[in-house]
């Protein structure tokens, strides 16, 4: 009982520090916030070996627990991935200030001058699992948008998350901004998550980034508003009028570039008119990359080495080198399957017919809908947002990649000239 009480007290103290820091960061100069982000990039650049050493501890602990390769891939950092984190920070610093933007302005007949202006959301809680880069993405985007952030990473990435949090705080201090703009809940006790979820009046929004079980827990227990997606069951549909060479290239990249990210392809839909031509080539290419294939009965008739897919496969986010394949009757058949099984994350059509593409893009109800592009682009950095905290599949406030601009709200400014209401 005492541990429970202490954890809630510790989290509440962090929340209060975050509230105090918000009063300063929310009114800070854009140049100062950008300087904090750039200085963090420089600190990371000069500490790559220290970061890799911390990450190695996390990786070794994960291996000792016999965690799977996809999980370890999400956890692992190397020189290239750290350089991408640095580049992401630099890109975020160069983005336009998302605060103080006049979103709309109009005059009423009575002369009132009304404008809608962007402002920070407030105190943001980020609850995530094994990806240590989320620490930097979340911290920097919150700095950019004048918010404060409370980070609670998974126990499997705790050493890497600690060092990144330290560097973000150093970057803030170097720009004369409060270090408590970025804080980390260091406890690996799950009670800490519950304390954050119940912090009404202290935390303004929770953003989870992790597996289905984590997000379900958060959506079930949270008394604070949540931006989230449960799963990334992403589809690619190859239309009968697709350029086959393009289609093969896009599908292989969508599935195999990184299988453990939420934008990875999980179900491939193929128009029956071209299935006999496409499946043998595609199966050969994917198997060469180490991908296990499952398919419906029609698919197996074309390639007997493909395993039979069951209904559960259409509902599964593998996050691994496994792909389900289904033959459908044209674009409407693809849309029907997506409507039934999609998690509303990311879907793609491959076709050279613009009209068919437009039907797909308009009728498919997902946060991200693509034409002739890899689903691996479902990422805030690739959308020009510098980075993202996550993908939201909800409909309230934010949908799709949650970047700096999505971490703002707005207020109305009303200018009058002694008007009074009758």
Summarize pLDDT for 345-381 with one digit per residue, the tens.
999 999 999 999 999 999 999 999 999 999 999 987 7
Asked if residues 113 and 414 have their Cβ atoms less than 8 Å apart, the reply is yes
Q: How many domains does the chain have?
A: 2
Residues 334 and 408 in one domain: no
Q: How far, CA to CA in Å, does 242 sit from each of 37, 89, 113, 298, 327?
A: 43, 37, 52, 20, 15
Backbone angles phi, psi at 343, to 5 degrees: -95, 10
Could you tell me the pTM of the whole model? 0.83
Lowest mean pLDDT: which of 176-180, 376-380, 408-412? 376-380
- What's the confidence (pLDDT) of residue 3? 65
E-state strands within 147-305: 148-152, 182-184, 205-209, 234-238, 265-271, 292-295
Is residue 219 one of the residues assigned to a domain?
yes
Q: Say yes or no: 19 and 138 in one domain.
A: yes
Tell whether the model's pLDDT for residue 407 goes beyond 90. yes
Verify that 305 and 337 share a domain, yes or no: yes
Rounded to an integer, the average pLDDT of 171-185 is: 98
**Looking at residue 2, what is its pLDDT?**
59
Residues 142 and 238 in one domain: no
The boundaries of the domain holding residue 160 are 2-227+402-414
Local structure of residue 309 (DSSP, 8 states): P
Q: Considering the domain boundaries, does residue 387 fall inside one?
A: no
What is residue 58's predicted lDDT score, i.e. its pLDDT? 95
- Residues 101 and 161 occupy one common structural domain: yes
Q: Which residues contact 383 (CB under 8 A, 6 or more apart)?
A: 377, 400, 401, 403
Q: What is the pLDDT of residue 122?
A: 96
Q: Is residue 396 part of a domain?
A: no
**Is 325 domain-assigned?**
yes
Predicted local distance difference test score (pLDDT) of residue 373: 97
Percent of the chain past pLDDT 70, that is, above it, reads 99
Inside any domain, residue 372: yes
Which of 172, 128, 119, 170 shows the shortest CA–CA distance to 151? 128
Per-residue pLDDT, averaged over 258-268, amounts to: 93
Integer-rounded Cα radius of gyration of the chain: 23
Residue 335 lies in a domain: yes
pLDDT at 422 over 80: yes
Nearest to 263 by CA among 412, 350, 370: 370
Considering the domain architecture, whether residues 220 and 245 belong to the same structural domain is answered as no
Is residue 286 domain-shared with residue 215, that is, in the same domain? no
Residues 221, 72 share a domain: yes
Predicted confidence at residue 365, as pLDDT, reads 94
Residues 354 and 408 in one domain: no
pLDDT tens-digit profile of 143-173? 999 999 999 998 899 999 999 999 999 999 9
Residue 391 lies in a domain: no
Residue 1 has pLDDT above 70, yes or no: no
């Amino acid at each position: 009982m005492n541990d429970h009480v202490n954890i809630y007290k510790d989290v509440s103290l962090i929340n209060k520090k975050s509230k105090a820091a918000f009063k300063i960061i929310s009114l800070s100069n854009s140049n100062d916030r950008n300087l904090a982000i750039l200085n963090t990039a420089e600190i990371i650049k000069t500490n790559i070996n220290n970061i890799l050493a911390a990450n190695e501890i996390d990786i070794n602990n994960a291996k000792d627990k016999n965690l799977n390769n996809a999980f370890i891939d999400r956890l692992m950092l190397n020189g290239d991935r750290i350089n991408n984190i640095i580049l992401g920070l630099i890109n975020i610093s160069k983005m336009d200030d998302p605060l103080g933007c006049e979103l709309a302005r109009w005059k009423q007949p009575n002369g009132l001058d009304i404008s809608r202006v962007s402002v920070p959301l407030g105190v943001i809680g980020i609850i995530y699992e094994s990806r240590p880069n989320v620490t930097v993405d979340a911290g920097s985007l919150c700095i950019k948008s004048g918010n404060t952030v409370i980070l609670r990473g998974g126990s499997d990435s705790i050493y890497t998350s600690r060092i990144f949090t330290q560097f973000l705080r150093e970057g803030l201090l170097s720009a004369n901004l409060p270090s408590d703009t970025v804080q980390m809940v260091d406890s690996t006790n799950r009670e800490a998550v519950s304390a954050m979820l119940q912090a009404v009046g202290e935390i303004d929004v929770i953003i989870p980034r992790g597996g289905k079980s984590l997000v379900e827990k958060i959506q079930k227990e949270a008394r604070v508003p949540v931006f989230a997606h449960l799963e990334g069951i992403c589809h690619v549909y190859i239309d009968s009028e697709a350029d086959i060479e393009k289609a093969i290239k896009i599908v292989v990249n969508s599935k195999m570039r990184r299988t453990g990210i939420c934008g990875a392809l999980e179900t491939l839909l193929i128009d029956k008119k071209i299935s006999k031509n496409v499946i043998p080539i595609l199966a050969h290419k994917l198997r060469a990359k180490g991908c296990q294939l499952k398919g419906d009965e029609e698919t197996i008739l074309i390639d007997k080495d493909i395993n039979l897919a069951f209904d559960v496969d259409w509902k599964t986010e593998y996050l691994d080198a496994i792909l389900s394949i289904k033959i459908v009757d044209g674009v409407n058949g693809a849309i029907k399957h997506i409507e039934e099984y999609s998690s509303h994350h990311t879907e793609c059509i491959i076709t050279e017919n613009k009209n068919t593409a437009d039907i797909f893009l308009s009728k498919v109800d997902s946060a991200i809908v693509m034409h002739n592009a890899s689903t691996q682009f479902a990422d805030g950095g690739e959308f020009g947002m510098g980075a993202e905290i996550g993908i939201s599949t909800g409909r309230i406030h934010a949908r799709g990649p949650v970047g700096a601009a999505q971490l703002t709200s707005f207020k109305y400014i009303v200018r009058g000239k002694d008007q009074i209401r009758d």
